[in-house]
Amino acid sequence: MLCIKNDNTNPYFNLAAEEYVLRNFKGNCFMLWRNRPSIIVGKHQNTLSEINVDYVKEHNIDVVRRLSGGGAVFHDLGNLNFTFIKNAENEDTLVDFKKYVIPILEVLQHLGVNAKFEGRNDIMIDGRKISGNAEHVFKKRVLHHGTLLFSSQMADLSNALKVNPLKYQDKGVKSVRSRVTNISDHLPKKMSVTAFQDEILRFIMESNPNAVLYEYTSDDIEKIENLVKEKYATWEWNFGYSPKYGFEKMIKTNGGNVEVQMNIEKGIIQDIKIYGDFFNELDISDVQKALTGQKHQEDAIRKSLENLPFERYFHNISVSNLIEAMF
């Protein structure tokens, strides 16, 4: 087994690295990694309906879609991620959450933490979640990865994932919010997240006699970076891949109320209606027409409106006001 301790904290790189190893390495692998503040959404989720857009923008939080299903999770440097990539002996053993969680449980219990595997894919301490897990299958290789909340900022986690459920109507897989806790709060003896990381790596290597440490080569890094550019850092993957959804929101502005209703498919605005008690000189159907066919993305929306005399369509209402009503 190759054991990869990756010190890169760029979430785009780390999610791309998982796919690269899954598809290009032949043997079993184990990976430990951390991300700077970011939201990682499940493969089948509507990204915008899982994140607090204003908070994410204000705090420069990266948003990345992963290969596996399940719900959205918040990562920061106080959260440790682990990944097992293994060749399955037969199709009946492809998906088995508990099998991959047991080594992590053993480390936690060795450290004096009363952690248990509960439900479909969680590790809990006294009824509160410290780890969510997800899997993805490629041919006969299984990618199992999980979070380990060690010393995460809980306020950031809560705020980044706080979304108004009334804005979106879609068939995307919804995240289930759980009561969470940090592992560090339950350790009999305090330790850092990096020491915790080293403890897990030591345990995995001792438990697997054929385990060897592996560092990405320059060729590996180049190929992973290419995958970042082609997929993981793109709007098309992180937002455009979202399922079809409807959106509705109303805001109050100095020029009156503005209500936006949209239908979006593959991240593209299929149709949009703008209502309100604002005053206008020109027919707003021009604005609706300009927005139809555009990405549901702030930069694309601004660009589509830049040649319109916006103030003649919305008296005392700015482009930024309209954009606020669209997210």
**Domain residue ranges of the chain, discontinuous segments joined by +:** 2-240, 245-325
Measured CA to CA, the distance from residue 238 to residue 240 in angstroms comes to 6
Q: Check: CB of residue 132 under 8 Å from CB of residue 70.
A: yes
Measured CA to CA, the distance from residue 168 to residue 45 in angstroms comes to 12
Measured CA to CA, the distance from residue 233 to residue 128 in angstroms comes to 33
Q: Which of 183, 118, 179 is nearest to 152 (CA)?
A: 183
In this model, does residue 218 exceed pLDDT 60? Answer: yes
pLDDT of residue 92: 54
Name residues whose C-beta falls within 8 Å of residue 201's C-beta, 6 or more positions apart in sequence: 3, 5, 32
- Which CATH code is given to the segment(s) 2-240? 3.30.930.10
Q: Check: CB of residue 269 under 8 Å from CB of residue 292.
A: yes
Q: Which pLDDT band, with edges at 50, 70 and 90, does 118 fall under?
A: confident
How far the first Cα of the chain sits from its last, in Å, is 45
| Of 110-114, 117-121, 232-236, minimum mean pLDDT range | 117-121
In this model, does residue 120 exceed pLDDT 80? Answer: no
Q: Which pLDDT band, with edges at 50, 70 and 90, does 297 fall under?
A: very high
Measured CA to CA, the distance from residue 180 to residue 53 in angstroms comes to 22
CATH number, domain 245-325, options 2.60.40.10, 3.40.50.150, 3.30.390.50, 3.30.1330.10 = 3.30.390.50
pLDDT of residue 174: 66
Model pLDDT for residues 36-76, shown as the tens digit of each residue = 999 999 999 999 989 999 999 999 999 999 999 988 999 99
pLDDT of residue 177: 59
Q: Check: CB of residue 245 under 8 Å from CB of residue 46.
A: yes
How would you write the chain as a 3-class SS string?
A: CEEEECCCCCHHHHHHHHHHHHHHCCCCEEEEECCCCEEEECCCCCHHHCCCHHHHHHCCCEEEECCCCCCCEEECCCEEEEEEEEECCCHHHCCCHHHHHHHHHHHHHHCCCCEEEECCCEEEECCEEEEEEEEEEECCEEEEEEEEECCCCHHHHHHHCCCCCCCEEECCCCCCCCCECCHHHHCCCCCCHHHHHHHHHHHHHHHCCCCEEECCCHHHHHHHHHHHHHHHCCHHHHHHCCCCEEEEEEEEECCEEEEEEEEEECCEEEEEEEEECCCCCCCCHHHHHHHCCCECCHHHHHHHHCCCCHHHHCCCCCHHHHHHHCC
In this model, does residue 180 exceed pLDDT 70? Answer: yes
Global pTM value: 0.85
